[in-house]
């Protein structure tokens, strides 16, 4: 472990194109990071597919709760509940406009909570968001697959595999890089927004002309309920909580500020506001048309048409019913809307693929997560985060069999934990700014974030109460575990950091230097290692043979004599047929009699040309190395022996920078020699 970032830059340019290259594309140099940044027209679909797609189910959930629990009579409350959701959405969007400006580094709520409320809040936000990103992928993909299966029911047996397939597709697209996935995602999102917008406008127009037909489901009766006042309030709260699913993903922009083009803050804020505007317009519009066409949507369609006639067929979604009313069943716009809805639901999962790796890299940089999460891959994305997210979402999809009904219960909670803590953090932030004497903007900021904090906290309570027993407890069980793991990881990194920090007493003197060359048979690899060790001019040197087979040991001793090799050969007995153990005992013995000498063990190791040849070798030197590493004061030198076939495979010169090579630029790296030109240094300095 000598350097911080360890990505693998993959195969050579003129090697046959590997599957990885087909999927991911050629590696990009770090200098192209700027070129990967997002213009607003791409940032919008990338960050907004999640909140916009929730228009497809937000109004539906809201109507469902009202109709199913309360009966038709309570639909009159729908506009008010929808208005509350829209108002909350507006406040949350405005709140995040403030976050983007105050903390533009991409830390989002995590950074806000950490800076203003402390480590505990940052870790709480982080664990909540990590859980929710995984759920976003699982829920959105499952919901998209649901829509596809509604249209093509024969695919039902492969539901889980189709969902997994889409997750893999998302992984591949995201590994290609933020920019390229943005392009692929822009079209469906814009088609979805456009077609839904047209539907709302045409619907309203036809209503004004008195020409809007009722939905098919309008004729079905729904059982009426009597509710106490307390029951009514609970009903409205549940409807409100369900509608709040439209808010998920709003925070994505605040985590993605670094991915925007300059001026980053301005662009991110603008994207946020545009997104909020569209989401509000569509949410309100869809709810309005749904009420105007008197769509009845309940959990069990048999409630609508009566038990006798019920054939247990799935109910068309609210969006589908509206499209039928406005444009007519089977019309071209109807199919366009259905396809765009399915596509945008699948793409909503992509928001998490942007958020999770960014958050992971921030956590890794802060020492709360494994360092590998902060490694940019070939295409400049945090590849390990992308893969980790996909793996966890895949597990969820398999465990819950891609069932939206089950997964949706776990959803939203994490987002609102993050919302609430982030907004509280912002309130603390503004108060601190005021204490520093700054007045401008702080009153508005306090008002917006204060309102956001109170409202999101209320929603968090409502969502928790209404969902806890339906499975949401799982989230509350996982979050503390994540919290503790991150805390421990941080403690470990800090401990290691202290341990390896150089202080003034750092010194590595030793009294001497002894070399051991492990010799199995008298072959070229052994002689090469011996030759190399001799060239190193150690204070003392010996060859060691561990005798598993007495005959072979005698043969080696004889050959050693015959060749007159001047390095002494020690033969160690190995009653238990291990090589490392007698060797380690021998080293211990040597150090007992020679003080704390540094011991270097030379191992020769075959390098093969093909993977299958590796099966035919013992990987002994690898295993011996692992055991020797545990012995204090021992250094292991591996002397490679390239087999002929490996040489053939490697006969092309190694070209480290495929990208540059491809473009005809020189493959020599920029060498900046720093210090030491005057010393006895090699003369290959800068040319």
> In the window 633-672, what residues touch a copy of itself (CB under 8 A)?
634-644, 646-647, 650, 653-660, 667-672
Q: DSSP letters along 191-260, please?
A: HHHHHHHHHHHHHHHHHHTT-PPPPGGGGS--------HHHHHHHHHHHHHHHGGGGTTTTHHHH-GGGB
Residues of span 116-135 touching a copy of itself by CB under 8 A: none
649: exposed, middle or buried (Cβ count in 10 Å: 0-12, 13-18, 19+)? middle
Site for a copy of itself in 320-339 (CB under 8 A): none
What residues from 606 to 625 belong to the interface with a copy of itself (CB under 8 A)? 606-607, 613, 615-618, 620-621, 623, 625
Determine the Cα–Cα distance for residues 368 and 371; give it in Å rounded to an integer.
9
Among 330, 477, 630, 664, interactor with a copy of itself by CB under 8 A: 630
Query: What are the phi and psi torsion angles at 324 (to 5°)?
Result: -65, -45
Residue from 83, 187, 585, 648 that binds a copy of itself (CB under 8 A)?
A: 585
> Can residue 605 be called a binding residue for a copy of itself (CB under 8 A)?
yes
Binding of a copy of itself by 483 (CB under 8 A): no
Kind plus residue range of the DSSP H or E element containing 543: strand 540-547
Instruction: Establish if 569 lies at the interface with a copy of itself (CB under 8 A).
Output: yes
Least distance (Å) from a copy of itself to the CB of residue 652? 11
377: left (phi over 0), alpha (psi -120 to 50) or beta: beta
CB atoms within 10 A of CB 516: 24
Residues 498-537 that bind a copy of itself (CB under 8 A): 499-502, 506, 508, 510, 513-514, 518-529, 531-532, 535-537
Task: Based on the shown chain and the rule CB under 8 A, indicate whether residue 103 belongs to the binding site for a copy of itself.
Answer: no
- Least Å distance between CB 134 and a copy of itself? 19
From the list 28, 52, 148, 284, which residue makes contact with a copy of itself (rule: CB under 8 A)? Answer: 28
Judged by beta carbon, residue 288 or residue 533, the one nearer a copy of itself is 533
Q: Which is nearer to a copy of itself, 436 or 651 (CB)?
A: 651
C-alpha to C-alpha distances, 412 to 131, 419, 440, 459, 676, nearest whole angstrom: 10, 10, 34, 10, 58
Cβ proximity to a copy of itself, 28 vs 239, nearer residue? 28
Residue 487 in contact with a copy of itself, rule: CB under 8 A: no
Site string for a copy of itself, 376-415 (x = CB under 8 A): x-x-------------------------------------
Fill in the DSSP letter of residue 37. P
User: Which residue among 187, 474, 496, 648 contacts a copy of itself (CB under 8 A)?
Assistant: 496
Q: What are the beta bridge partners of residue 607?
A: 642
Residues in contact with a copy of itself, total (CB under 8 A)? 148
The structure tokens listed for 452 are 């956001």
Angle, vertex CA 25, rays to CA 23 and CA 26, nearest 5: 145
Give yes or no for residue 18 binding a copy of itself (CB under 8 A): no
Beta bridge partners of 598: 513
Q: Does 683 bind a copy of itself (CB under 8 A)?
A: yes
Asked if 598 is part of the footprint of a copy of itself (rule: CB under 8 A), the reply reads yes
**456 binding a copy of itself? (CB under 8 A):** no
Return the range that interacts with a copy of itself (CB under 8 A); candidates 24-32, 129-137, 316-324, 327-335.
Answer: 24-32
Q: Is 68 helix (H, G, I), strand (E, B) or coil?
A: helix
Distance, in Å, from the CA atom of 155 to the CA atom of 314, rounded to the nearest integer, reads 15
b/e string for 249-288 if b means 16 or more Cβ within 10 A?
Answer: bbbbbbbbbbbbbeebeebbbbbbbebbebbbbbbbbbbb
Q: Which is nearer to a copy of itself, 398 or 637 (CB)?
A: 637
> Alpha-carbon distance 256 to 99, whole Å?
12
Nearer to a copy of itself, 473 or 657 (CB): 657
Q: Does 454 bind a copy of itself (CB under 8 A)?
A: no
- Nearer CB in complex with a copy of itself: 8/299: 8
- Answer whether 289's CB lies under 8 Å from 82's CB: no
Piece in contact with a copy of itself (CB under 8 A), picked from 89-97, 248-256, 364-372, 441-449: 364-372
- Whether 565 contacts 602, CB under 8 Å: no
Q: Which stretch binds a copy of itself (CB under 8 A): 280-288, 339-347, 460-468, 489-497?
A: 489-497
Three-state secondary structure of 334-373: HHHHHHHHHHHHHHHHHHHHHHHHHHHHHHHHCCCCCHHH
- Classify burial at 415, counting beta carbons within 10 Å of its beta carbon; exposed 0-12, middle 13-18, buried 19 or more: buried
Which of 95, 48, 100, 47 minimizes the C-alpha distance to 278?
Answer: 48
Q: Does 574 bind a copy of itself (CB under 8 A)?
A: yes
Q: Determine if 105 is a binding residue for a copy of itself (CB under 8 A).
A: no
Task: Return the number of the residue (55 or 363) whose C-beta is nearest a copy of itself.
Answer: 363
Candidates 629, 648, 652, 662; binder of a copy of itself (CB under 8 A) is 629
Segment 30 to 59, residues that bind a copy of itself, using CB under 8 A: 30-31
**Binding of residue 23 to a copy of itself (CB under 8 A):** no
| H or E element that contains 114 | helix 108-117
Stretch that binds a copy of itself, among 193-201, 238-246, 288-296, 599-607 (CB under 8 A): 599-607
Q: What secondary structure letter does DSSP report for 330?
A: T
* Residue closer to a copy of itself, measured from CB, 51 or 177: 177
């Amino acid at each position: 472990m000598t350097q911080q970032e360890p990505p693998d830059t993959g195969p050579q340019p003129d090697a046959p194109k590997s599957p990885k290259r087909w999927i991911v594309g050629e590696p990009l140099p770090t200098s192209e990071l700027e070129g990967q940044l997002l213009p607003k027209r791409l940032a919008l679909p990338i960050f907004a597919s999640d909140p916009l797609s929730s228009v497809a189910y937000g109004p539906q959930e809201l109507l469902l709760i009202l109709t199913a629990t309360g009966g038709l009579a309570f639909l009159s409350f729908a506009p008010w509940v929808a208005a509350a959701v829209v108002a909350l959405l507006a406040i949350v969007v405005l709140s995040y406009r403030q976050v983007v400006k105050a903390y533009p580094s991409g830390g989002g709520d995590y950074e806000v909570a950490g800076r203003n409320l402390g480590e505990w809040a940052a870790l709480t936000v982080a664990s909540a968001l990590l859980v929710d990103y995984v759920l976003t992928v699982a829920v959105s993909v499952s919901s998209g697959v649901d829509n596809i299966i509604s249209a093509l029911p024969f695919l039902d047996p492969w539901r889980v595999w189709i969902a997994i397939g889409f997750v893999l597709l998302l992984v591949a697209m995201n590994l290609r890089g933020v920019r390229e996935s943005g392009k692929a995602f822009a079209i469906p999102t814009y088609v979805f927004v456009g077609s839904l917008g047209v539907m709302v406008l045409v619907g309203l127009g036809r209503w004004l002309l008195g020409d809007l037909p009722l939905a098919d489901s309008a004729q079905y009766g729904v059982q009426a309920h009597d509710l106490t006042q307390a029951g009514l309030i609970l009903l409205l709260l549940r409807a409100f909580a369900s509608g709040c699913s439209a808010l998920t993903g709003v925070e994505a922009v605040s985590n993605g500020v670094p991915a925007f083009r300059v001026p980053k803050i301005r662009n991110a804020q603008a994207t946020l506001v545009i997104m909020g505007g569209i989401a509000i317009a569509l949410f309100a519009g869809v709810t309005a048309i749904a009420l105007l066409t008197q769509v009845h949507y309940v959990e069990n369609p048999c409630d609508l048409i009566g038990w006798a006639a019920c054939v247990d067929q799935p109910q068309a979604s609210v969006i589908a019913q509206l499209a039928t009313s406005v444009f007519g069943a089977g019309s071209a716009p109807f199919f366009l809307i259905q396809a765009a809805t399915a596509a945008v639901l699948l793409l909503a999962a992509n928001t998490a693929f942007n958020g999770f790796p960014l958050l992971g890299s921030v956590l890794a940089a802060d020492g709360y997560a494994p360092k590998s999460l902060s490694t940019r891959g070939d295409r400049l994305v945090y590849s390990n985060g992308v893969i980790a997210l996909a793996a966890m979402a895949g597990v969820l999809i398999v465990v819950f069999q891609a069932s939206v009904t089950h997964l949706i219960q776990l959803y939203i909670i994490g987002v609102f934990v993050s919302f609430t803590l982030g907004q509280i953090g912002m309130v603390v932030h503004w108060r601190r700014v005021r204490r520093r004497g700054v007045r401008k903007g702080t009153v508005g900021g306090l008002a917006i974030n204060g309102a956001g904090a109170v409202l999101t906290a209320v929603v968090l309570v409502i969502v928790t109460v209404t969902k806890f027993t339906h499975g949401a407890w799982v989230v509350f069980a996982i979050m503390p575990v994540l919290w503790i793991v991150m805390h421990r990881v941080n403690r470990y990194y800090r401990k290691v950091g202290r341990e390896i920090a150089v202080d003034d007493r750092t010194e590595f003197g030793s009294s001497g230097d002894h070399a051991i060359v492990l010799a199995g048979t008298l072959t070229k690899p052994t002689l090469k290692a011996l030759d190399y060790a001799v060239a190193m001019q150690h204070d003392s040197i010996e060859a060691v043979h561990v005798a598993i087979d007495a005959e072979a040991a005698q043969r080696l001793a004889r050959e050693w004599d015959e060749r007159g090799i001047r390095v002494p050969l020690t033969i160690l007995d190995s009653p238990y047929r291990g090589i490392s153990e007698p060797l380690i005992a021998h080293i211990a013995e040597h150090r007992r009699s020679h003080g704390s000498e540094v011991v270097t063990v030379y191992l020769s190791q075959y390098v093969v040309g093909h993977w299958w040849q590796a099966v035919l070798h013992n990987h002994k030197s690898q295993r011996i190395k692992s055991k020797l590493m545990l012995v204090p004061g021992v250094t292991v030198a591996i002397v490679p022996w390239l087999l002929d076939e490996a040489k053939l495979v490697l006969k092309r010169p190694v070209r480290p920078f495929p990208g540059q090579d491809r473009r005809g630029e020189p493959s020599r790296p920029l060498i900046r020699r720093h210090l030491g030109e005057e010393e006895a240094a090699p003369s290959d300095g800068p040319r």
